[in-house]
Amino acid sequence: MAKHKPTLALITGATSGIGLAIAELLASEGVSLVLCGRRQDRLNALRTKLSDQVPVHTCNFDVRDAQAVQAAIDSLPAAFCHIDVLVNNAGNAHGLAPVEQADIADWDAMIDINVKGLLYVSKAVMPLMLAQQRGHIVNIGSIAGKEVYPNGSVYCASKFAVDALTQGMRMDLFKQGIRVSAVNPGLVETEFSLVRFKGDATRAKQVYQGINPLVAEDIADTVWYVITRPPHVNIAEMLVLPSDQAASTLVNRR
């Protein structure tokens, strides 16, 4: 069966972790890239590195800012408008605390970035896909969107929302040639825990202590599988865990 070969992908959260690994893998496979994030120095370095392999355009916006998102998509150079893959990856957990003690600013960040940000980017990119009656949206969800764990209620709620949005977007878009998929990772060692624990590297390291966690490249590999299926195949969702993890809170530490 002939594989599908994507030509141009837009990746949010490309400056770190899973998004960065997806960018590097897609560049190595010859897929042109629109790379998004807020850290301009990292975007610049990435463009310099990957431009040897494929055309790269970078966009600096906060996914919480709907106007900035729309302006960035509206000002894409013509050569970067035919987006056939959107990876909605930007997101993080902020804090890990019982609901009665958690910080409202952390709640706002998670809902605004993980849920509303994903919607804003999709809203701006969908017209480009609809115009060509072709496209693939891959939402990076989480095991946290499948199982709630203590102290993670709002992060889990944001990822449950991503799960619901993936299903709803698929229902609304499938007749128009747009596939919608979710890739739901378990524990992946990235900057994720450093962000969650507000720069506390010791606490972040403890999350992965004694286990062999996933690395960002494992998820990039999964996304590549999802977006290269033949046009009649849509992988609705994939849950990808480290072998040392059986459920959100069931981890085999040695």
Of 27, 144, 204, 251, which lies in the binding site for ligand 8X3, with binding defined by CB under 6 A?
A: 144
Residue (of 195, 165, 198, 191) closest to 180 by Cα position? 165
Question: What gap in Å lies between CA 216 and CA 191, rounded to an integer?
Answer: 10
Q: What is the DSSP string of 14-54?
A: TTSHHHHHHHHHHHHTT-EEEEEES-HHHHHHHHHHHTTTS
Please, which residue, 80 or 197, has the CB nearer to ligand NDP? 197
Q: Which does 62 bind (CB under 5 to 8 A by kind): ligand 8X3, ligand NDP, none?
A: ligand NDP
Closest residue to ligand 8X3 using C-beta atoms: 142
> In the structure encoding, which two tokens stand for residue 6, read together?
């994507």
Question: What gap in Å lies between CA 136 and CA 218, rounded to an integer?
Answer: 20
Residues 37 to 76 in contact with ligand 8X3, rule: CB under 6 A: none
Of 88, 139, 142, 166, which lies in the binding site for ligand 8X3, with binding defined by CB under 6 A?
A: 142
Q: Which does 248 bind (CB under 5 to 8 A by kind): ligand NDP, ligand 8X3, none?
A: ligand 8X3
Residue 31 sits at the vertex; the CA angle it makes with 29 and 32, to the nearest 5 degrees, is 145
Residues 231 to 250 in contact with ligand 8X3, rule: CB under 6 A: 248
Please, which residue, 210 or 231, has the CB nearer to ligand NDP? 210
Please, which residue, 78 or 104, has the CB nearer to ligand NDP? 104
* Minimum gap (Å) between residue 1 Cβ and ligand NDP: 29
3-state secondary structure of 111: helix
The kind and range of the H/E element at 239 are strand 237-240
Please, which residue, 60 or 212, has the CB nearer to ligand 8X3? 212
Stretch that binds ligand 8X3, among 38-46, 106-114, 140-148, 221-229 (CB under 6 A): 140-148
Residue (of 137, 223, 120) closest to 172 by Cα position? 137
Q: Which does 19 bind (CB under 5 to 8 A by kind): ligand 8X3, ligand NDP, none?
A: ligand NDP
- C-alpha neighbours within 13 Å on the C-beta side of residue 34: 28
Please, which residue, 87 or 143, has the CB nearer to ligand 8X3? 143
Task: Identify whether the C-beta of residue 194 lies closer than 8 Å to the C-beta of residue 184.
Answer: no
Residue 155 bears catalytic tag: yes
- Kindly state whether residue 158 participates in binding ligand 8X3, applying the rule CB under 6 A: no
Catalytic residue positions, numbered: 155
**Which residues of the shown chain bind ligand 8X3 in the complex (CB under 6 A)?**
142-144, 152, 187, 248
